[in-house]
Amino acid sequence: MATYRTICTTRDIPEGQARMFVVGDMMFGIFNIGGEFFALDNRCPHAGASLAHGYIEGDTVACRIHHWRFRIRDGKHLDTNRSEKCARTFPLRIVGDEIQVAW
């Protein structure tokens, strides 16, 4: 069963930006889009580049390496309908000012 764990605080991620966090063998990209926070597997499903270091525009992020585009809210790969190209997402909740992610 997935357990929520604190990753960072809401103050760590300015609006319209993302940060990478490593917890054990997990690597998360936490995104702040208009004051809403989302957690993605930080490794691009194409070849593993950091999505937190991608180009954020509105609610999408484009990988820096080969420019695959993902919808941040649900990880959907925006250039195809192929689920294997989607970024993995994780449940996220805010407790006080802590951002907690479940995996």
Q: Is 26 in the site for ligand FES (CB under 6 A)?
A: no
Q: Which residues contact 85 (CB under 8 A, 6 or more apart)?
A: 45, 46, 68, 77, 79
Nearest approach, Cβ of residue 34 and ligand FES (Å): 24
Q: Is 85 in the site for ligand FES (CB under 6 A)?
A: no
**Angstrom distance (rounded) from CA 7 to CA 37:** 12
Q: Is 78 in the site for ligand FES (CB under 6 A)?
A: no
User: Which of 26, 27, 49, 78 lies at the binding interface for ligand FES (CB under 6 A)?
Assistant: 49
Strands of the sheet with 4-9, listed across from one edge: 4-9, 98-102, 92-95
Q: Which residues bind ligand FES (CB under 6 A)?
A: 44, 46-47, 49, 63, 65-66, 68
